[in-house]
Structure formats: C-alpha cells, structure tokens
Structure 1
Amino acid sequence: MALDVTIFETIIPSRFLSFTVPHPTLHTHLLRVAVLDSPIQTSDSLIVAALFVPENRESDWIFSTESGHLQLLLSSPGISRLILIGKNPINVPDSLMISHKRDKDTQFVKNLENSLKPLLIALSPKLSVKNGIFDMPFLHYEDNLICSVVLERSVGVLVGEMLVEDVEIESHSELDDNCREREFRRRMRFKRMPNLIQTEIRIVPEPDFVLDRIRIGGKVQFRPDTGVLVHPYLIPMVSGLSLVGPHIEDRIQNGYKPKALCLGVGGGALLSFLRSQFGFEVFGVEMDEEVLRVARQYFGLQECEIQIFVGDAIQYLETIASGGSSSNFVSCSDEEDHLNHATVFNTKFDVIMVDLDSCDAMSGISAPPMELIQSHILFAASSVLCDFGILIINVIPPSRPFYDTLIHKFREFFNELYEIDVGNGENFVLVAKMLPFPSSVSESQNTFLKKLREVVLGKYLDSIRKI
C-alpha cells in the first residue's frame, strides 16, 4: 500500500512511523526511514533534521527502536522532527553482529543526501519550508566505538530486555595523543534506554595472544579487570572517600574493615573495586535477579566476597534503619553462613554509595529517583551511617530546580555537602558528610589516602568543592 505523505504535513507530538523505500544508489538494498515527532513542541518555528545511521550499526537499539530514536531526538534541543535513514536491518545471529567503524565517505553521503531530497521534502511539514527554500540540517552521530559483538541478550523481570556486548573503543596514549592504544570493554545496556551504558568494565585478553592480532568476536577469551574503573562517574564517586580518609584510616589501623553499602549493583564494578582495592566489607542491593546473574557471569562479580540482597534499594534502606527483619530480602550468597542477617541489620556503615536512576524514555534519564530525597528516606540514610560516615550519590539533574531541591533536602540531615563535577556535562557526584573526624594522622601518613591517590585520578580529588 502506498504511503500517504500528506500525514507528514503537520507535527503530531510523539508520533512515530517507520517504513522502507528502495535504496537510490544500491539497487539490491532497501532503506529504512523512521520519523519521530518530538513530544515537546516549544515554539512556532519547526526544525526538521535528518540523521544517517552509521554503516553496520543499523541493528543497534540506538537506531532501530523508538526509544533509541527518542533519545537521539531529545539530545538535539530544538528539533521538532528527526528523520533516521539507514539500510534496512538484516537479522543475523548475535555471534555475528560485529560492526566496524569506517572512515567517512563524504562524497557518498553527499550523493545520498541529494538523491533523497525529494523524499525529505515530502516528510517535512509545510511550515518548515520557508519562502520555497528547503534547508534541512543533517546531524552526525559520533562515538568512540570501533567494533562490537553481542555476547548475550536476556530479559529481566524488572529492567526488561538487556544485552551484554564486548567492544573495542578508540583510546589514545596519555603521553602521546597521536598514539592509539587498544582498549577493550564489556558493556551492559537496557533496551528501554539504549543510548545509556548501564555498566562498563575493562576486559583484558587471556595471556599468550599477540595484541595486534586480537579481534573482538574472534577466538580470544577476555576476562574482566575489576581492579580499574572506566565508567565516567564511578571514579569521582570513589574520590569522595577522601573526605572521610582519616576515619577510614582509623578503622583500618584498629583492625576493622570499613563497611560500604551500595544501593544499585548493576554489573558490580563499583562493589568489586571497593572490595579488591581497599578491602571494604561490601553490601549491595539490586532489584533484578537477572541483572545479578549477568553480573556474575560476565562482569566478575564474586558474591563469596560481597554480600548482596535482591529487592528495592530504598525499601531496604528503610528496613535496616528501623531495625526490621531481613526476611523480605533474598540473599544471593551461595553460602548461608556467609551472611549474618542480624549483623547486617544492626550495623553502621562508613559509606553509603547510591547509583540509582529514574529511567523514562519520554523525559530521559535522571538520578537519583525522587523517592530517595523524601525526608524519611534521608533520615534513614543518616541513621545507618556511623557518626563520621559519608553518603555519596551519582546525580543526573533533569533541571537546575531539581538539583537545588536535592541540595536543600540534604542540608536538613547532613553537616557538610560537597560536589564533584564529573566533567561530561551530565553527571555530578554529591557527597553528604555527617561529622568531621578528629585525627592526629597527617595526610602523608594516611595509607588509605595514599592508596586512593594511586588508583583514582588526582583531578577528581583536587576538584572536590564544598557547597
């Protein structure tokens, strides 16, 4: 049935349509065209933009799903309609889904733009063609991906469809920006927010392989490297521990392991890092058992060393604050004796780290969820921290008023507040501190702070700002 192009003459917020047309230059191929109208129409001026899907990325959720399309549109403020154009995706086994980054063929893209001009005019509202002149901006999608292969797709009861993929990304030597180094990562992504990398860790090839011959998706086996953090905001979160360095040092010197409660586990990179690098006794809460299964299988999460509960993290915080029973939460430990419920529910933590988001494809990602900043939840958090403890939160503010409200609420329950700018234009790390620790140990004698400076970037330690 022929497509009625008159339906595109007006903008209908959130309308999404996709269809195929013959490829104008590759006659054996079809082009997939997807049109999405922004859910937010803020002005009378209509701006329509087009984006060509990078070659060999056509099956990626970012470009093949409505939620991915919406995230692309929302990341380009002012766009009323975004048109995606790419080869029609071909279903192939996941083990063969390898995409390689290629140099741009600018002339080929230019010819394609010219060939598709009549179609693009037909897909544009009448008001966007001014004085008979058609001028559509073409957006370009850029990331650091060189190649990738999907290891597994699975479905979590709560998070929905997710995938695990190994990737090679562009990386440059710290000493010479022109010198390219090979960098391999493992990622977890959720289909509901495909542009968001939920978890990312570094992976290293097993020994006895020549690095130049290693290829993602080949015969080489990779193993997780849990001794380093690569997710953009995790290093700044760990840097926040410097604010309680004297207290942590005192705990260690007196023969105690510092205790950390991590609300949100994901792939477990942060939990594994705290355990392996600093010897923390780590507790974690994750709501979806399938996410934990994936974390164990692919991301190096060792539950013989880390104590994890399955359940709602905020509810868990309330429960332990009230001294309630742990019967509503399931321990994932294989050894029943490993976890003493009574100890967990009567302990005080030296640090609480919160990595919880509120994902809504219509409005984008924000963190933390609004439930966390309720007064009784913040009181619960402060009550399970020791006197010199610290609360560290990954924050993605959807607006400045949200961030101001967050800061105002935290001031009601914590003595000091600090901020770390992650530097990606999106994340902040907010650090809420109980009381200053009276220590006679100098920073140069503090072995914990020395270790911290060895494993995290000094720029984050030096950029902590009291607010």
Structure 2
Amino acid sequence: MLSMGNRNFQLCAYFLTICFSSVAMMSSFPKLILISFDGFRYDLLNETMTPNIYKWASRSTWFTNGSRSQYVTNTAPNHMSIVTGLLCYFLFPKKNCLSRTPHGGQHHFIGLMPRLLFRLILTLTTFWRTWTAYGNLSDWMNDVDDIVDLFLRENDPVNFVLWYLAEPDHTLHLNGFFNGELRKKIRQLDQLFGYFIAKFQSSHLENSVNIILTADHGHSQIDSVKNIMCVRDYITSEGYDIGDHMIYPHSEDLALELYRNISNAVKTLGYKVNVFLKEDVPARLFYSNSTRIGRIVIEPHIGWAASLSCTKEQLLQTYNAGEIGFNSSSHGMDPDHKEMRALLVISEVPNNIDLYSLMCHLLSFPAAPNNSSMSVDHAEFFLLFVAFLLIVMILAMCMPWKTKISDHRIMNRKEHRFLLTDCCCTKDAYDTDSDFLIPKGNSRGTITDEFANPRYWKKFFALTKTSFEWYGDYDILNSIFEKYLKPTDTVLQIGCGKSRLAEQMYDNGFKSIRSIDLDIAVIEEQKSRNRMRPGLVYTVGDATSLSFDNEEFSVVVDKGTLDALLPSQDNLQQSSSVQKMFNEVERVLKEVGRYLIVTLAQQHIVTFWAEYFVNTYVFGLCFIISSFISSVSSRRFMLRVHEVANCASTFSMPLFVFVAIKLRNVSNISLPIELCRQGSYQFERIKDRNDLVSAIISEQELSQFVHLCSRKLDREVSIAVESRHKSGPRYQFYIVDNVKTKSFKSYAVFVVPLGREAEWMFSNEKGRRALRAQIGKDRLIVVVLSRSHIYSSLQEVQDEIAPFFDILSCGSVDVRATCASGNSLLSGNWTVEDVVSENREYRRLIFQSSASIIQSEAHLKYAKDGKKIVDLDSLSCEHHLFMLAGLSIMPKNILSNPSLPKLKFAVLGLGGGILASFLLRHFPNALVDGIEHDPDVVDVAVHWFALPQKNRRMNIIVIDALDYLEDKAQKANEKLDALFVDLAGPIHDSGLSCPPAVFLNDYVLDNMKNSLKRDGMIALNLVTRDEEVARKARRSIASHFPSLFHLHSEEDVNEESFRSVQQTAAD
C-alpha cells in the first residue's frame, strides 16, 4: 500500500503516467476509466464500511491520506482540474467545460469526443449526470453494464470513460455524518463498486482497463444551525449574481458596499467566517487574476457555514432556535484542511524502475536515457490531447456559468431538518487582544506595525519620567563595555545628562572620561557630585560641533542621546543634526576607535545608523551614495549589535548597544553586521539592514512578551519563534495560567508530539486550559512544533528552548519495557507497555492516534512460578468501577446477585478486554459480547491481556459498534441487560475523546435504547475536557433515557460516566 499523503497533484499525474505506461507499451489502445464519487472523503474508505473498495484498494496504489482538492468556484473546478491538470486560474473563463445536461433521458451520458480525429488514438465517453440526478443502486448498476459494453463492443469501442456519481455528496448535505444515512449510502456505493469489479472480472477487462477511483473534494460537518450565517440578511436583494461561496456584483460601488456590510456583520455578531475581496484571497489559491472568481469570496471556518440563500428568520422557524435536530455537512473549504481531502486509488502498482524519471522531475533535472516507461515520448497522444482541449474550449464558450439568486434551499425530512449550505471552512485563527505596549496578534519573529510606528514610541516615552531610567546603568552595561574598553582608553561621553554612567565607569577603573551636555545646570550638578573624582571632566558642549582635535578619543559613548536627537524619521532638521553628530564622532575617533551607542533601537534609528556606517549617507528620505561625498569617501566601519537585558526598568524593554569600530583604510571589501542576542556569547552575521531591523524587532517583541508573562495572565497568550536558518515559525508557545491561584508556585513545559498538534487538547485554548488543569501546574507552557521543520530528537528541542523554559518531566511514570508494538490498518500504530506508577505495575495499550488516552490498562501480578501475568480479577481504571456500580441501581440489583441466570452484557470497545474479562469472571452465568471493529486489537487483547477468547460465554464480534447496535435494536429476542459503552477515539473538533461524537447522536442513542431490555441499563464513559461539550452530551443522553445517573471521576479532567436506566428515576 502506498501512502502519499497530501502531495501536490502534479505528482499524481506522474504516478498516473507510471501506472498506465506498462499498458501503453503493450497496446496502441490503452484503456482507462476515471470514477468519481462526489464528496467521498478520504477517511470514509475503511474495511468496515467499504469492504469491496478496501479489498481492491489494498492491492492497488492507495493514497491513504487522500488527495488535495482545488478550492471551489462557481463552476466547481475540481473535476475540471482532474481531467485537465489545470488550476482554476488557468481554466476557461466564465464557462463550464463539462456540461452535465442529461442526454436522451436514459443513462444520461454525453459523448464529448466519440470520434475525435477519426478515432486516431483516443475516444472518450462521459457518464456525467447533472449533480441533481442522484440515482440509485439499480441505475448505477445499469451504468456499469453500459460502460462494460462500451469497452467491449466491436464497432467503435471507447478507451476512456469518465463516470461521475452525485453521491455521497447529496446524502452528506442532507444528513451530515452522524444520523446513520451516510453509512447506508456508503454501503450502497461499496456494493456498486463490488458489482463493478465483478463485472470487469467476468468480462476480462480487469487487466486491460486501468481504473482510477477518486472524488472531487471532501466534506465537513456543520456543528449547529446556530453556526450558519445567512448572508442575505446583511446585503441588498438585487444588483448581483451568486455562485458557490461568491458574489458577483454588477458594479464596483456595490461590491465595496456588500463587502463592508458582510464584514461588519461578521465582526459584530461573531460569525466565524472569512470575507475576502478577490484580490485579497490567499495567493496560493490562484484566485486574484481569474475571471471565474467572484468579486467577494466568503469562507466559513470548520463547523460553520455561510448561506447565500437563507435568512435567519427562516432558520429559527425551521429549527425552533436549535431545538429541532439539525444534520448537515458542506464543502468548499480551504483545501489545506484534511476534511477537504478526497479519495484517490489507482489500480496499477508502479515499477521501481520508473522512480528515476520521477526523481528527475522533482529535481527539475533532465533525465538521462533510461528504460523507465515515463521516458517514452508519446508525441501523437500529446497532439491529440491539445486538440481535445481546443474542442472543449470551443464547446465551453457557449455554455452559461452564473446562477441567479434562488429560493432558500431549506428541506424537511422526518423530524430532522437540514440546510444545503454553500460552504463551511477553516479553523479558528487565534488573535489575542493586547494592551498598547504589546504588538497586536501573535508575535512571529517578524516586523510588526506597532514597533515601526512612531506613535507607538511617542506614547511609550510619555509613560516615563525620564528616558534615562530605561537605559540602565553600568552594572547592566559592563559585560558589553568591558569587551571594547581598556583602562588606558580616553573616553568621550556625549549628552551625559544626569546619568551616573561616567562615575560608575570611573569607579570600575576607567579614569580618563570627558562628558559633555548642552545643559549648563546639568553640567554644574555633575561637577559638584563628582568633585572627588579628578579624572572625570564635565564641560558644556554640542555633539554636532565638537571642540576636540581629530582622533583624540579611543572610545565615544552615547547613552540615549541618539534616541533623543532622532525621535522620528520625518524631521529633516533633526536628521541633519544626527548626521553632523556622526561626522563629528568619526572625526574625533582614533583608528580602531569604538563608538558605543546605548539605544532602544527604534526602526528608524537602526536604519539611520546602519546606513551611515555602511557607506551610505542618510538625509531625511533621500539616500545618497557616500562615494559622492569626499569627506566620507574613505569611511569603513565594522558594525556590531549587542542585546542587553534591561533589569533596571519596571518594564522590560530590551536595550541594545550599537558598536561601530573605525578601521584603517582598507580595500573595498564587504564588512558584515554582527548581532549577539541576549543570553548568547556567539555572533550571527546579518546580511543587510532590513534583516537587522527584523532581528531587533523580533527581540523587542519577545522581551515585551516575557514582560507580559511576568504577571498572572487572565487569558492565554502566545508567541511564535523562528529559526535563524529556515523561514517560518519553528516553535509556537502558548502560555496558560491558573487564574484562581494567588501566587505561582509551579510551572511546566509540555512539548506537543509532532503530528498531534491538531488534536483538541493542543489545538484550541479550551483544550490547553484543560491540559494545564490535568497536569496540575500553576502555569503551563505548551510548545507546538512545526511540520515544516526537522527535529532530530526531543533533546534537540530541549536544548533549543532551554534558555526560556524548564522541560516538563513526567516523573510519576517509569516505562520499564515496551512489550510489543505494531501497526493496525484501522487503528494505526500501537504499543503495549509495562509501566510502574505509584509503586504498582500496569500493562497499557496505547494508540499513537490518540496517545493522550490510555486505550486499555490492567494490573499486573506474579504467578507462583514468578511469571508476570495480567490480573483479571481487578480493575485499574476508575471509570470501569463506576460503570459496574451502575448495575446496583437496576431493579434486579445485578451487582448484589451476580449469579442471576441468563444475563446478557455487551461491551462496546473491547480494547484489551479488561472489562469484558472481569464481567465474565464475576458474573458466572452471564453471556458477554465483546465488540471490537479492529481484528488486530483483538489479537493484542488475547496475547497481551489474557482475554479468554475460547470461553463459551464470551462472544467476541469483530464489527463496527454502530452496525452491532443497529442489528441488536432490530432483534426482539436478543436484548441486553446492560450495555457498556467504553469507546475511545482521536479528539477532533467535537472536543470528545470518549466516545466518538457519532455515538451521541439521536439515531445511535435510539439504537442503544432499543438494544436493551425494558429494565436494562447503559453505562457510558464520557471523556471531555470541555464543560460545554459535557453539558450538551448530558442533554442528548437524557432525551433518550428517562433516568440519568452521573458520576464524576477524578482520575481525568472532566471525565464523566453516565448510567441511564429506562425505568428507575434518579439523578
């Protein structure tokens, strides 16, 4: 099986060439059928729901992570992109190339090119119904018969068929994923595919016709009717056309008006919807220059929808403000979301000899002569394909493409109502509020508007009594100064003000220091205070016109003077003054003299300084190459920047020391700018001025962020940290505090394993707050890694973030041994581990797909021969004990009478079989059904958890639990006394880890109820770290069972067990 993941579709094209080339070599008429099941999401293909497709896919080339679809336009380009290999930007403007108009009223297929170029090479037939012609299993089987006949007929046989079915898209729109209808439709499609394969085999076509099974896009569930934005409520009723997720205004003025109205509604009412003007749509979607794209594009987040046809009033009436059941799903989202990935399986398996040509393609390198079938030049086929495109373009020009505003598409079905929405898209983009000193939005190591805005700095300085308190003293600066100063140096301090820096330097051994300032009173005060320090000289002087001789000083020190002289970049007079000051400093410095500037490093300060000292003269907004100025034609400085921790201030604003070292006349070589960050002893080379500005601003952002986190946070904050060697954030840090604590006594860092960042616990604020509560620390720092970066080990991660955090240690658990590990086709990678926790030994089964959940856990004990065995007479999980306690509230009081005859139990989610084994041993007359959909897990339970598989009272059934419930509900004579629901799964957007969300919908809960005897009981283990999700789950269960008992387990955050009895009432 080949798992390619979400690769570029161009690679798929190359794999198609690989897969089909062997047939092409053998025959001048290679054959191909492209089957598209509309909206078939990649993860709907599994052994349980689609055994026929699964069997075929397992021996084919199966892209198990699906294929990335194209973003939707009015003419739905996904099928177009599949058959042409073109992005929507390049598709034919304002037309739909493949008409879906029925032909003849029978099988509704159209021959776009039945005899193209006199059947020279290729003939094509499409079974391409209109998307509203949904069909049924009988119709589809008739299509199969016709397709087989087309390939086999003696006169004009075809060699390329496109076969489109409007399912499961239609069913998903009407029912969503969770009310049971989707499962029925998927089974029909699987039956159809089984019939198709059988028909091909019996007709001897299986080895001569290549098969591609795919879909145009995936689907995503709409969480609630309240999550639908009815766009019509906020725009006028005329003057535009509509398409999928798009509006086509008839004038530019109307376009801007509609855009403002929709954007204001989103902002004001909290709709999770993105609204774009066409030119603002992300460039990766190739939309901005395409005439197919509407002027306004509307993109909802995951779990939301935006409809251009409904009104809020209609929705509220139809669904009674959310009280009436709502089931619907939609598509048209950002193709980068996994929900939008489509099914893709190719019948042929590639030869490894073809990989050479593929590698050359990926490297954009011409392949040498080789035996790869990809190197064969099918010139005739290429010319034919060009002709095909030209014909289709001609046909396309005559076809309409826009749709007018239609009546609202609200439909009723039994007690549930649903809405055919336009789209539903994208995860939440986290945006943190901030006070004015913190850059808005999450810092990402890049330049932000706040630090580049002079008003930001004006307000910043206005908060201080004097700027000098922000610039530190010698205790802070000495580690930098002592790198560049010797006790014998003659030092000039310009703009000394009231600073004590010179006297502190004097007391530390630097005895020759002259300080100047324009303020006579300040100079007199300094003289008076330092009269006992004879080497300190204070005089009135102007830094822009120094009275000293050329090359008189070894060092010039500027502490805040540059910042004071150049508060903004807009004042030409002040810029001229700074230019003069730099000229004077250069004049009085000796060769190899050092000019040290202590600064807060505003962007225009950095730019002015760097431009001057790298041979460019700056005057206002004009840049004049210094070679035209004779006075500075020989200037050559080596530049360094040091970041200093500013501990002197009550607000942590980083200080920087700019160092310009005057060199002798040297050859025209490029001297680098070097940066030494806070806490580092190494310099990094900076390429140019822009990179220097960016690096400094990133350090300012980090410093501000650290200061923000120096006090208790009432909300989550985050920051991204980039690598110096690769673009894009390398780490994202989320800081979560316990808002109830008065003082911090503990904190920890949690590094999210790569690949699990999308799980509920790590991907949103509620989940991370729950994680902090579970860990039990006052502050938790959650570290999310980037998939675009490479991490060799956890130790590397620890070393990189060690300057900021202490790494979290699990401490209480010591993994002694990994007993076994493997991979299941259904459950993915798994491990069985023997661990010690609180001085007791346990055996655990863990799935990598939900590693935050222990799938199964058992106590270990030692047999008489000293061998370690599983203790089947004890339960290590608290929720299992709670579930058993539910038996005591039944009318039979089964817990007090375990020997009652003919008891029937079922455990959904057998896992390691711990609960099922305990029931079997402690209820001697009970029959136990152990339900597990993964046969590999059953094998693990038997071999590692001592599951008594051969006991006649234990009935292990490998089946989907949903199918088991549906079957049990329909059998009157096989009802259960107790049903234990102990199912786990990966945490998705539902916020649930146990059970999967589908088990809490009305259809499945009805089946649970109907599977029980009249006085039966269901015990359901619910694990969620979202209280709102927990309350919603309670309401769902209570609506089906008259009595609800709720116990809260302390072994996990917000973990809850429910017992529901059909007669006894208690709470």
TM-score category of the 2 structures, normalised to the smaller one = 0.5 to 0.7
Which structure 2 residues correspond to residues 217-236 of structure 1 after superposition, within 5 A? 221-236=867-882
Question: 2:870·2:946 contact (CA, 8 Å) conserved in 1?
Answer: yes
1:110 equivalent in structure 2: none
1:187 equivalent in structure 2: 844
Q: 1:262 Cα shift? A: 0.9
Identify the match of residue 204 of structure 1 among 849, 861, 871: 861
Q: 1:383 to 1:79 in 2, by over 3 A?
A: same
Which structure 2 residues correspond to residues 362-373 of structure 1 after superposition, within 5 A? 366-373=993-1000
The CA distance in 2 between the partners of 1:156 and 1:258, in whole Å, is 33
The CA distance in 2 between the partners of 1:82 and 1:421, in whole Å, is 30
Q: 1:377 Cα shift? A: 1.6
1:268 equivalent in structure 2: 913
Per-residue CA deviation, residues 326-369 of structure 1 (Å, 9 max, x unaligned), is: xxxxxxxxxxxxxxxxxxx8311100000113313788652222
Q: 1:412 Cα shift? A: 2.4
1:457 equivalent in structure 2: none
1:28 equivalent in structure 2: none
1:238 equivalent in structure 2: 884
Q: 1:224 Cα shift? A: 1.0
The answer to whether 1:67 aligns with 2:756 is: yes
Matched letter for residue 140 of structure 1: L
The answer to whether 1:434 aligns with 2:434 is: no
The CA distance in 2 between the partners of 1:283 and 1:38, in whole Å, is 46
Partner SS for 2:1034: helix
1:320 equivalent in structure 2: 968
1:310 equivalent in structure 2: 958
1:159 equivalent in structure 2: 827
1:82 equivalent in structure 2: 783
Q: 1:39 to 1:284 in 2, by over 3 A?
A: farther
Which structure 2 residues correspond to residues 11-410 of structure 1 after superposition, within 5 A? 36-37=731-732, 65-67=754-756, 74=768, 75-76=771-772, 82=783, 88=793, 136-138=804-806, 140-171=808-839, 183-209=840-866, 221-244=867-890, 246-248=892-894, 256-279=901-924, 280-305=926-951, 306-323=954-971, 346-360=973-987, 366-410=993-1037
Question: 1:320·1:346 contact (CA, 8 Å) conserved in 2?
Answer: no
Question: 2:747·2:780 contact (CA, 8 Å) conserved in 1?
Answer: no
The CA distance in 2 between the partners of 1:3 and 1:242, in whole Å, is 73
Q: From the two aligned structures, give the one with the greater strand fraction.
A: 1
Q: 1:50 Cα shift? A: 9.6
Which structure 2 residues correspond to residues 411-422 of structure 1 after superposition, within 5 A? 411-422=1038-1049
Q: 1:299 to 1:83 in 2, by over 3 A?
A: same
Question: 1:287·1:310 contact (CA, 8 Å) conserved in 2?
Answer: yes
1:95 equivalent in structure 2: none
Partner SS for 2:890: helix
Q: 1:139 Cα shift? A: 5.3
The CA distance in 2 between the partners of 1:410 and 1:357, in whole Å, is 18
Partner SS for 1:391: strand
Q: 1:270 to 1:35 in 2, by over 3 A?
A: farther
1:57 equivalent in structure 2: none
The CA distance in 1 between the partners of 2:973 and 2:719, in whole Å, is 49
The CA distance in 2 between the partners of 1:297 and 1:3, in whole Å, is 59
The CA distance in 1 between the partners of 2:985 and 2:907, in whole Å, is 17
Per-residue CA deviation, residues 68-94 of structure 1 (Å, 9 max, x unaligned), is: 89767832488675279x99479xxxx
The CA distance in 2 between the partners of 1:355 and 1:152, in whole Å, is 23
Higher deviation after alignment, 354-363 or 405-414 = 354-363
Partner SS for 1:148: strand
Matched letter for residue 354 of structure 1: V
Partner SS for 1:359: coil
Calculate the aligned-residue CA RMSD, in Å: 4.3
Question: 2:976·2:1011 contact (CA, 8 Å) conserved in 1?
Answer: yes
Per-residue CA deviation, residues 187-232 of structure 1 (Å, 9 max, x unaligned), is: 11111222321111011123244xxxxxxxxxxx311111100023
1:101 equivalent in structure 2: none
Q: 1:347 to 1:19 in 2, by over 3 A?
A: farther
Matched letter for residue 816 of structure 2: S
Q: 1:141 Cα shift? A: 2.9
Partner SS for 1:377: helix
Q: Scaled by the length of structure 1, what TM-score is found?
A: 0.59
Q: 1:291 to 1:3 in 2, by over 3 A?
A: farther
Matched letter for residue 825 of structure 2: V
Q: 1:320 Cα shift? A: 1.9
Query: Which runs of 5 or more residues in structure 1 are unaligned?
Result: 21-33, 42-48, 54-61, 91-112, 122-135, 172-182, 210-220, 324-344, 438-465
The CA distance in 1 between the partners of 2:1033 and 2:968, in whole Å, is 23
Matched letter for residue 418 of structure 1: F
Q: 1:137 to 1:155 in 2, by over 3 A?
A: same
The CA distance in 1 between the partners of 2:987 and 2:923, in whole Å, is 35
Higher deviation after alignment, 157-166 or 395-404 = 395-404
Per-residue CA deviation, residues 382-413 of structure 1 (Å, 9 max, x unaligned), is: 11111111010001134223222222222222
Q: 1:148 to 1:408 in 2, by over 3 A?
A: same
Question: 2:855·2:984 contact (CA, 8 Å) conserved in 1?
Answer: no
How many residue pairs align between the two structures?
A: 327
The CA distance in 1 between the partners of 2:1002 and 2:762, in whole Å, is 35
Q: 1:137 to 1:286 in 2, by over 3 A?
A: same
The CA distance in 2 between the partners of 1:203 and 1:394, in whole Å, is 24
Matched letter for residue 169 of structure 1: S
Q: 1:244 Cα shift? A: 1.4
Per-residue CA deviation, residues 116-165 of structure 1 (Å, 9 max, x unaligned), is: 69x656xxxxxxxxxxxxxx453533352234101111111111000011
Q: 1:387 to 1:168 in 2, by over 3 A?
A: same
The CA distance in 1 between the partners of 2:753 and 2:1064, in whole Å, is 51
Question: 1:152·1:164 contact (CA, 8 Å) conserved in 2?
Answer: yes
The CA distance in 1 between the partners of 2:735 and 2:896, in whole Å, is 53
The CA distance in 2 between the partners of 1:389 and 1:16, in whole Å, is 56
Question: 1:422·1:428 contact (CA, 8 Å) conserved in 2?
Answer: yes
The CA distance in 2 between the partners of 1:366 and 1:165, in whole Å, is 21
The CA distance in 2 between the partners of 1:69 and 1:50, in whole Å, is 24
Question: 1:392·1:430 contact (CA, 8 Å) conserved in 2?
Answer: yes
Partner SS for 2:948: coil
Q: 1:157 to 1:317 in 2, by over 3 A?
A: same
Higher deviation after alignment, 243-252 or 304-313 = 243-252
Q: Which of the pair has the greater relative contact order for Cα pairs under 8 Å at 6+ separation?
A: 1
Partner SS for 1:142: coil
